[in-house]
Amino acid sequence: MLSLNIVGAGRLGKVLGRLAQDSGRYRVAAVLCRERAHALEAAAFIGAVQAVDTLTDLPPADLTLVAVPDGAIAAVAQALAEAKVVRPGTVVFHASGACSSALLTPLAQQGAQVASLHPAFSFAEPERARQTFAGSLCALEGEALACERLAQLVAAIGGEAFYLPGEGKAGYHAALSIASNYLVTLVALAEGVAIQAGIEPAVARCLLGALMRQSLDNALALGPEAALTGPIVRGDVATVASHLAVLEPEQGDLYRALGQATVTLAGARLDAVQKQALREELGSGEWGVGSRE
């Protein structure tokens, strides 16, 4: 059985700890938070775990999870290195999606194997997260041996691991943010435009929700290019102009930016004349989605 210490047993730390403990293949040795009450609460949630007050109280462990907020990881890594509690050859990892394992360099310099393990999952409520985590994809990045050991941890807690290069972390996290956050922004944009057109808010949400779910399912099943419908891919400049005429300035800016990217996405489904006409109607910005054109 491998032992695991958790520094920062908040929303993510306590759930990963509980899943590891429940797997029967890991034993959570100790948890540490800033507030002792929080460490005790996490220890109770994980079960049969010691809550410690300082880094120097951490017992030796095979793996150390640094699950503090992203902005505190580097300082905690430095403090762990100064406390000399991480043994050479053991694994230290953090759970940030945006940052690489380079944040753990002071520990790598002492012989630890460093990596990052980012579950693409929201740990909003611990008990619910524990029950629904199975099948979640987890991005691993860092030293090969550490990634190998963390892939075993991911499998033990019911996740599915995949590998990322360290320099890919920012792009990986940007993709997740676009997919989750900007989808929400699109809901708000579309609802605002519908309400301005005189549609009741509750009706607008139903109307747009059904269409958005259908479009998302199509894009994921068929691929974005094949799933694209609507005035842009039809080359219907007059309809695009009628849309722009009723939008508020900020709505129009977003419509134009997304419209330019949609012209690029339409690719060979539009001829050069249609593309030129659409781009002129949408404004002259240099928008695009990668190198599809």
Ligand X SMILES: NC(=O)c1ccc[n+]([C@@H]2O[C@H](COP(=O)([O-])OP(=O)(O)OC[C@H]3O[C@@H](n4cnc5c(N)ncnc54)[C@H](OP(=O)(O)O)[C@@H]3O)[C@@H](O)[C@H]2O)c1
Q: Residues interacting with ligand X, by CB under 6 A?
A: 7-13, 32-35, 38, 67-70, 72, 76, 94-97, 118-119, 122-123
Q: Under a CB-based contact definition with an 8 Å cutoff, are residues 13 and 6 in contact?
A: yes
For the bound state, the minimum distance from the C-beta of residue 40 to ligand X, rounded and expressed in Å, comes to 10
Q: Which is nearer to ligand X, 74 or 282 (CB)?
A: 74
For the bound state, the minimum distance from the C-beta of residue 83 to ligand X, rounded and expressed in Å, comes to 11
For the bound state, the minimum distance from the C-beta of residue 37 to ligand X, rounded and expressed in Å, comes to 8
Task: DSSP for 36-91, please give it.
Answer: HHHHHHHHHHH-S-EE-SSGGGPPP-SEEEE-S-HHHHHHHHHHHHHHT-SPTTSE
Q: Which is nearer to ligand X, 33 or 140 (CB)?
A: 33
Q: Which is nearer to ligand X, 180 or 276 (CB)?
A: 180
CA distances from 293 to 51, 232, 259, 264, 269 (A): 57, 15, 15, 6, 11
Residue nearest to ligand X (CB): 10
Q: Which is nearer to ligand X, 94 or 256 (CB)?
A: 94
The H helix count followed by the E strand count for the chain is 14, 8
For the bound state, the minimum distance from the C-beta of residue 36 to ligand X, rounded and expressed in Å, comes to 8
Q: Which is nearer to ligand X, 13 or 142 (CB)?
A: 13
CA distances from 185 to 20, 169, 178, 179, 218 (A): 35, 23, 10, 10, 20
For the bound state, the minimum distance from the C-beta of residue 179 to ligand X, rounded and expressed in Å, comes to 14
